[in-house]
A and B are shown apart, each in its own frame.
Chain A
Amino acid sequence: MRNGETVGPALLELPRTEARPPNIGSWEEARKGFDWSLAERELGWGRGDPVNIGWNLSDRICRRGLAQKPALLWEGADGQERRYTFDDLRVLSNTIASWLGARGVGPGERVCLFLDRVPELYLAFVGILKLGAVVQPLFSAFGDESLATRLLDAGTCCIVTQRKHLPKVRRARATLADLRLVVVVDAGEMKLAEGEVALDLDAEPRVESYDVFPAGPETPSVLHYTSGTTGQPKGAQHVHRSLVAQYLTTKWVLDLKEDDVYWCNADPGWVTGTSYGIIGPWACGVTQVVLDAGFGAERWYSFLEKRRVTVWYSAPTAIRLLMKEGLAPVKRHDLSALRHLASVGEPLNPEAVHWSREAYGLPFHDTFWQTETGCIVVSNYPGMPIKPGSMGKPFPGITAAILDLKTFEPLSGPGHVGMIGLVPGWPSMIRGYWNNPSGYAKKFANGWYLTGDRGTVDADGYFWFVGRDDDVINTGGHLVGPFEVESALLEHPAVAESAAVAKPDPVNMEVVKAFVTLKPGFEASPDLELEIMNFVRKRLSPIAMPQEIAFVPSLPRTRSGKIVRRVLRAQEFGEPLGDVSTLMED
Chain B
Amino acid sequence: MDDLRRTVLDYVRREYLEEDDDRELVSTTRLISGGIVDSFSMVSLKRFLERKYDVKIPDADASPEAFDTVDSIAALVERLAPVKA
Residues of A within 8 A of B (CB): 77-78, 116, 141, 164, 167-168, 292-299, 317, 321, 324-325, 475-476, 506, 508, 511, 526-527, 529-530, 533-534, 537, 542-543, 545, 547
Contacts and interface: CB of A to CB of B under 8 A. Distances in A.
A321 B39 contact: yes
B19 A167 contact: yes
A77 B30 contact: yes
A299 B33 contact: yes
A530 B64 contact: no
B10 interface: no
Given A167-B18, A295-B64, A527-B51, A533 B35 contact: no
Interface of B is mostly: loop
Contact of B35 (A294, A529, A534): A294
Contacts of B71: none
A164 B18 contact: yes
B3 interface: no
Contact of B43 (A293, A298, A547): A547
B20 interface: yes
B44 interface: yes
Given A77-B30, A296-B68, A324-B63, A543 B35 contact: no
Interface string B52-74: 00000001100111001000000
Interface of B: 15, 18-21, 23, 30-41, 43-44, 47-48, 51, 59-60, 63-65, 68
Contact of B32 (A292, A294, A529, A543): A294
Contacts of A529: 47
A295 B47 contact: no
20 contacts: A116-B35, A141-B38, A164-B21, A164-B23, A167-B20, A294-B36, A295-B33, A295-B38, A296-B33, A296-B68, A297-B64, A297-B65, A298-B65, A321-B63, A324-B63, A529-B47, A533-B44, A534-B44, A545-B40, A545-B41
Nearest to A324: B63
A282 B81 CA distance: 51
Nearest to A171: B18
Given A297-B64, A527-B51, A545-B40, A77 B33 contact: yes
Contact of A530 (B23, B31, B51, B68): B51
A169 B44 CA distance: 24
B33 A294 contact: yes
B41 A542 contact: yes
A298 B59 CA distance: 19
Contact of A526 (B15, B47, B65): B47
B65 A530 contact: no
Given A294-B35, A533-B47, 18 more contacts: A77-B30, A164-B23, A294-B30, A294-B33, A294-B34, A294-B36, A294-B37, A295-B64, A297-B64, A298-B65, A321-B64, A325-B63, A325-B65, A476-B39, A476-B40, A527-B51, A530-B48, A547-B40
Contacts of B39: 294-295, 317, 321, 476
B44 A545 contact: yes
Nearest to A529: B47
A529 B43 CA distance: 12
Task: With a 10 A CB-CB cut-off, give which of B30, B33, B35, B38 has the most chain A CB atoms.
Answer: B35
B64 to A, nearest CB: 5
Contacts of B40: 475-476, 508, 542-543, 545, 547
A497 B67 CA distance: 33
Q: Which 5 A-B pairs have the closest CB atoms?
A: A296-B33, A542-B40, A542-B41, A294-B35, A167-B18
Contacts of A324: 60, 63
A328 to B, nearest CB: 11
B68 A526 contact: no
Contacts of A537: 41, 44
Nearest to B38: A542
Task: With a 10 A CB-CB cut-off, give which of B15, B51, B60, B65 has the most chain A CB atoms.
Answer: B65
